[in-house]
Amino acid sequence: MSQSHETSQSQETLSNLLQETRRFEPPAELAASANVKAGTYEEAARDRLAYWAGQAERLSWSRPWDEVLDWTDPPFAKWFVGGELNAAYNCVDRHVEAGRGAKVAYHWEGEPGDTRTLTYADLRREVNKAANALLELGVRKGDRVAIYLPMIPELPISMLACARIGATHSVVFGGFSADALRTRIDDAQARLVITADGGYRRGKASALKPTVDAAVADTPSVEHVLVVRRTGEEVAETERDVWWQDVVERQSTEHTPEPMDAEHPLYILYTSGTTGKPKGILHTTGGYLTQVASTHHSVFDLKPETDVYWCSADIGWVTGHSYIVYGPLANGATSVMYEGTPDTPHKGRWWELIEKYKVTIFYTAPTAIRTFMKWGDDIPAQHDLSSLRVLGSVGEPINPEAYVWYREHIGGGRCPVVDTWWQTETGAIMVSPLPGVTAGKPGAAMRPLPGIGADVVDDEANPVPNGGGGFLVLTEPWPSMLRTIWGDDERYVKTYWSRFDGLYFAGDGAKKDEDGDIWLLGRVDDVMLVSGHNISTTEVESALVAHPKVAEAAVVGATDPLTTQAIVAFVIPRGDAGGDVEGEDFLRELREHVARTLGPIAKPRQIMIVPELPKTRSGKIMRRLLRDVAENRGIGDVTTLADSTVMDLIAEKLPGTKSEG
């Protein structure tokens, strides 16, 4: 720690402890042929709206817009005012019309190993049939359709069919309970639910239909349930059920898309956050499609003719909406889509798929990367991953050690890693390196993309100086921004636009390093207050993960009579750690290691060795539950846990917990 830290820290909003000096220049060849070069930052800064108007030209508009942005009633934005376009036409038809009908849109792979290849021409036929079926079932422009499907081709087909007729889709992740599904159906007043008998997960058929039956028992808005036969397992049938195979298959393969207003609601996606009722994040058509197409092109350097792109997310999350469906299809990309889990039938399944389809661009989450680190380097080493050229990360701060592992063991040391910061609310990537421009720093999301305004501010909304920490804010409206929370404008204003006047509050802690580059430091609700210092969970976790014997770590602040809060860490050792990873010596070694890396202030009071960490279904660590453990309380609400047995596993470890004062 430098002198300035010691003296000014108590006034700082968030401490800046971690120093990282590794740099990775873009590969020369990639830099030379990159889609976006350094000059674009300046060009966009000179005239932001002209830049976005230029990006909107990536799309085919049925009617040109009159005005790029209407921001006369903030925070309610209108982008490309007066413009008209159809999202499904832009994602499908126009590629076929341009002679690219035979190009593969999706190489789909089921978990049991069955495959389907959908060209753009195939996709057009399927989307048209589904659109005609929706119309036959009474769905009209402006209606809402809930989609509760596994990762099968009918999922993007259903979304595009909705977009084609102007129905607003609300995709609900297939792992959610009947209660969660019912709340979301009710909130959006969905007229139709599209589901399947089930899907394949971890080597067996996993039913979905019974959950839908339970959910719609009490949802008067739902007229029909459209069911895809995927697993062939028997399901209970009710009068409102119709089979996809009966209704969709017999439809005409022709359908004329109807142009939609640029601000027509494209979809609602619910985000739960930490408290309260889920928020229905509303995205509209023109601005959303512009920014997902633009960023998919710039951040991944997509060359649609030669690249094979794979985003491993589930389409039930925004990552899948923007970077499996709308962005890649708008750009005419060829993508891989995979139904199942990474360890079925073996722990090398993903690397096998990269080898099989010669994937060139791969986009995944830090939680997956840390899991692969835990499973061992030898697993990816058994596969030829030499087709890869760009790697992406999203969902959480990526620890420097995980970044370097990803770069080395998946990227063969030659692929740039783009750490992309964004949210369900932002709709598209906001802060990220550009693979042909940026000298990457492991752990940093770096800079706002061209045309985006982001900053780090203190409690009073003043930008922090380089080297300082605070709150990440967005300083300008952006095309793919949420337009509101469905049915609750007031909550929209209160949640995002009230903390700082005129700025969008993202809820994330961040710092600017000496070069002014941005590092994300975790949710501000998780920041720990230790002896007057605001310490980021991310920095302490990254320090722990940098220890060669640590695979994963989660850190929380527990109430402490002396220091307000004290740092308590939960650590999963690496599979190959060896030795006594539960003993006093190892725990002391880890505590000293953190103190050496970040300074004595960040030394954990207590470290617990655990077999697993509690995570949400999208892979985010649930620190709230770990705080309950650290403070010896009963465990709170676990309904959003991906695996409900994890807290029992952790509780079992408690009697053996080692602590030092």
Point out which residues bind ligand WT7 (CB under 6 A). Answer: 271, 317-319, 394-397, 419-424, 445, 506-508, 520, 523, 618
Query: Which of 492, 483, 490, 556 is CA-nearest to residue 523?
Result: 556
Answer yes or no: are the C-beta atoms of 435 and 518 closer than 8 Å.
no
- CB 198 to ligand WT7: min, Å: 25
Query: Which of 280, 259, 295, 243 is CA-nearest to residue 90?
Result: 259
Answer yes or no: are the C-beta atoms of 18 and 545 closer than 8 Å.
no
Angle at 471 between CA 467 and CA 475, to 5 degrees: 100
Q: How far apart are the first and last CA of the chain?
A: 23
Report CA-CA distances (Å) from 277 to 272, 508, 549, 617. Answer: 7, 20, 40, 17
- Axis-axis angle for helices 209-216, 178-188 (nearest 10): 50
- For the chain, helix, strand, coil in percent to 5 are 35, 25, 45
Compute the distance between CA of residue 208 and CA of residue 263 in angstroms, rounded to an integer: 33
Compute the distance between CA of residue 369 and CA of residue 394 in angstroms, rounded to an integer: 11
DSSP annotation string for 563-586 = TEEEEEEEEEE-TT--S-TTSHHH
Phi, psi of 616 (to 5 degrees): -75, 170
Question: What tokens does 315 get?
Answer: 């389409």
Residue closer to ligand WT7, measured from CB, 101 or 443: 443
Does residue 435 have a cis peptide bond before it, meaning omega lies within 30 degrees of 0? no
Compute the distance between CA of residue 359 and CA of residue 337 in angstroms, rounded to an integer: 11
* Chain centroid to CA 124: 27
Question: What tokens does 217 get?
Answer: 């028992």
Compute the distance between CA of residue 524 and CA of residue 588 in angstroms, rounded to an integer: 29
Residue closer to ligand WT7, measured from CB, 9 or 426: 426
Question: What tokens does 437 get?
Answer: 């421009």
Alpha helices (H) in 550-645, listed in sequence order: 584-598, 623-630
Three-class SS of residue 350? helix
Three-class SS of residue 115? strand
Beta bridge partners of 84: 63, 261
Residue closer to ligand WT7, measured from CB, 143 or 455: 455
Compute the distance between CA of residue 240 and CA of residue 225 in angstroms, rounded to an integer: 6
Compute the distance between CA of residue 343 and CA of residue 379 in angstroms, rounded to an integer: 11
HEC per residue, 458-521: CCCCCECCCCCEEEEEECCCCCCCCCEECCCHHHHHHHHHCCCCCCEEEEEEEEECCCCCEEEE
H or E element: which one contains 320? helix 318-320
Question: What tokens does 32 get?
Answer: 């030379």
Report CA-CA distances (Å) from 464 to 3, 288, 366, 610. Answer: 18, 30, 27, 37
Compute the distance between CA of residue 597 and CA of residue 102 in angstroms, rounded to an integer: 54
Compute the distance between CA of residue 374 and CA of residue 370 in angstroms, rounded to an integer: 6
Compute the distance between CA of residue 423 and CA of residue 327 in angstroms, rounded to an integer: 15
Residue closer to ligand WT7, measured from CB, 505 or 586: 505
Three-class SS of residue 222? coil
Beta bridge partners of 480: none
The neighbour count for residue 436, using CB atoms within 10 Å, is: 22
